[in-house]
Amino acid sequence: MSTIAIISSFADDAQCAHAIEELRAAQVGDFNTFSPIPSHRIEHAIGRKKSPVRWIVLMGGISGILTGLAITIGTTYEWRLDAGGKPLLSWPPFIIICFELMVLFGGIFGFLGVLMLSGIPATEIAPGYNGRFGEDRFGIMVRCDEAEAARVESMMRESGAEEIVREGVQ
Amino acid sequence: MSTNPKRAHRERAAAKPQAVESVADMTLQTVAGAMIAIGVIAFASALIRGAAAIAWEAYLVNLLFFLGVAQGGVVASAAFYLTQAKWGGSTLYRLGEAFAPFLWVGFFLFFGLYFGRSAIFPWVTHPIAQKAAWLNTPFLFARDGIGLGVMAAASFAFIRVSRGDDARAWTIATDDIELPPHSIRVLAPLVAVLFAVVYTLISFDLVMSLAPVWRSTLFGWYFFAGAFWSALTAMALTAVVLRARLGENNLFTNPIVMHDFGKMVFAFSVFWVYLVFAQYIVIWYGDLPVETFFIVQRVHHMPWSPLSVACLALIWLIPFTALMSVRAKKRPLILGSVAGLGLVGMWLERYVLVVPSLSLDAIPFGLTQFLISIAFLGAFLISAVPGLNRVAQAATSGEPFGDGAE
């Protein structure tokens, strides 16, 4: 028994999402999806958990606040300046610096986190990818046992696949 | 797609929603009527007793607060058109417009201030020579009266179009990206811009002039942003209350809709505190006694200091922390409690803006002021009943709306 790859293409994301739901219900092999656009339908069908990028943003925000505190308090003590009789550590303007750095660091961490978690930049093209999946077609590549291939193919066809290709897997 | 969803929407939009029972039975109207009567008696007895200042302070605070809720709701509805909001279908718009009849009540009650002018406006008894051209009785009542009248008239013109068939069909058409009807596109921006202008004027004349030497340019914006937020919380609270009262399958049982109300309350609470801070930091930096005294009296001195802290907690800290998670926004109990506390906080905020200018050393809140506030609440509730019936009708009609489409 050898594993093979079945690549199907769809014209519509609803059909693609339906095929994904079928696949998940039948629990045959694992699969990859290709989509030219971000599609909520496909996202729901895949049923992935919420992205952990939020925690990365939180870390960025907290480190931004700490950096802001370090800069404001540090420079104040480095250069003691009595301004208008106000206390040395005057919090209201510090809040602004901390807030801005929180936003800046949170944004940068979030951006880098998205890149990291989604594996960008990709060094090689994912197996099964086809140029049309970047234009106007949705694709699913299923890796499964050869014995299951016929079942998977009929599942794809019933969901409305336009084209189904079998490929060997090294 | 075998069926034509567009036609289905049109047909459902064309069918008039069936009549629903009134949300409020006669009990509420009787109770509200009694509240008004008791408040009027308390007001009159205070005037007879010679406690006119206390009565007029409560009158002004409540006028500002309830007028703000009523007007803010209409502006929210206009803002929904301007942002093409379809997340609650027509219900959303009816909810914003429900409180509007109080605008006329408030318009007439505003002229009542004329009889209490010497009790509340310090510049009536001690005119300030340099500012007399602006701060004099006839000009103040003329400009603010015209402002409130124009505002109410524009609001009702807007509401009439908004309740019409064209606008209603637009609010529940989920599948097209057409603009709202033309008259809405004229009236909604008009209402929004008038709101900024008139309520800036109101805040300068009816709040800032109580401490006539104080000035802050940002104060008007801060004042009407607070009024707008109080309307959003009133809408969220109403949604939570109606959710339990309208039976199964009303729009408010949809967690997505509750989530959206939660987002609005959260977002504009942050906006309010942003304006508080923006104003505070400028005054703090400048450190001019003529500007700082207004804040020092309220934030650093007893007995007002705890009330100011309470405002900050009720309007910003509690909504911000309690509504941060998605799950909390969708829980009616949490959203309703936060909105209810927020309304209390906003009332308190108006109180802390007005009263320390007139009674610095003691908080004059007692039975008289409480009963007068109750009377205003009663008048507000009675005038909101017909609008709330429309909300109930829309919420139970099962019409389609934006978020349900996907």
| Interface-testing mutation among B273, B280, B287, with chain A (most A C-beta atoms within 10 A) | B287
| Interface-testing mutation among B274, B277, B320, with chain A (most A C-beta atoms within 10 A) | B277
Alpha-carbon torsion angle B131, B136, B142, B148, nearest 10: 70
Secondary structure (DSSP) of B282-295:
HHHHH--HHHHHHH
A105-114, A138-147, B353-362 — which one is most confidently predicted on average? A105-114
pLDDT at B308: 94
pLDDT at B21: 59
| Interface-testing mutation among B274, B279, B281, B327, with chain A (most A C-beta atoms within 10 A) | B281
What are the chain A neighbours of B285 within 8 Å (beta carbons)?
92-93
> Closest residue of A to B287, CA-based?
A84
Asked, as a colleague might, if the bond just before B319 is cis with ω within 30 of 0, I would say no
Q: What tokens appear for A24 in the block?
A: 């998940």
What are the chain B neighbours of A84 within 8 Å (beta carbons)?
287
- A122: in domain: no
Rg of chain B over Cα atoms, rounded to whole angstroms, equals 22
User: Is the CB of residue B339 less than 8 Å from the CB of residue B237?
Assistant: yes
pLDDT at B267: 95
pLDDT tens digits, one per residue of B322-335? 999 989 999 999 99
Cα–Cα distance measured from residue A44 to residue B246, given in angstroms and rounded to the nearest whole number:
31
pLDDT at A12: 84
> Closest residue of B to A92, CA-based?
B281
A109, A60: one domain: yes
A3-12, A63-72, A74-83, B132-141 — which one is most confidently predicted on average? A63-72
- A131: in domain: no
pLDDT at A3: 81
Which residues, other chains included, contact B63 with Cβ-Cβ below 8 Å and sequence gap of 6+? Answer: B106, B109, B110, B113, B376
- A15: in domain: yes
pLDDT at B146: 96
With tokens 């005054």, the residue in question is: B283
Strand bridging mode A30-34 / A138-145: antiparallel
Buried b / exposed e over B295-313, threshold 16 CB at 10 Å, is bebbbeeeebeebbebbbe
Phi, psi of B160 (to 5 degrees): -65, -45
A32, A62: one domain: no
> Closest residue of B to A85, CA-based?
B287
What is the CATH number for A41? 3.30.70.120
Number of domains in chain A: 2
Q: Where are the alpha helices (DSSP H) in chain A?
A: 13-26, 40-46, 53-78, 91-117, 149-159
A110, A154: one domain: no
pLDDT at A157: 83
pLDDT at B20: 54
CB contact under 8 Å between A40 and B277, yes or no, is no
CB contact under 8 Å between A92 and B284, yes or no, is yes
Chain A residues with CB within 8 Å of chain B CB: 40, 84-86, 92-93, 95-96
- A127: in domain: no
A34, A65: one domain: no
User: Which H or E run contains B22?
Assistant: none
CB contact under 8 Å between A93 and B285, yes or no, is yes
A78, A113: one domain: yes
Pick from A85, A86, A92: CB nearest B281: A92
Average pLDDT of span A67-90: 89
What are the chain B neighbours of A93 within 8 Å (beta carbons)?
281, 285
- A91: in domain: yes
Buried b / exposed e over B96-115, threshold 16 CB at 10 Å, is bbbbbbbbbbbbebbeebee
Cα–Cα distance measured from residue B329 to residue B324, given in angstroms and rounded to the nearest whole number:
8
Full residue range of the structural domain in which residue A159 is found: 3-50+137-168
A45, A65: one domain: no
A66, A103: one domain: yes
pLDDT at B248: 78
CB contact under 8 Å between B281 and A93, yes or no, is yes
Chunk chain B into consecutive blocks of 10 residues (it has 406) and report each block's average pLDDT, rounded to whole numbers.
Answer: 45 50 74 92 91 92 96 96 87 93 95 91 87 89 95 95 89 78 93 96 94 90 95 95 85 89 95 94 89 91 92 96 92 95 96 91 88 94 91 83 51
pLDDT at B176: 67
- Predicted TM-score (pTM) of this structure: 0.85
A61, A108: one domain: yes
A27, A80: one domain: no
> Closest residue of B to A39, CA-based?
B406
Mean per-residue pLDDT of chain A: 86
Domain positions in chain B: 20-388
- A128: in domain: no
pLDDT at A159: 83
Cα–Cα distance measured from residue B181 to residue B164, given in angstroms and rounded to the nearest whole number:
10
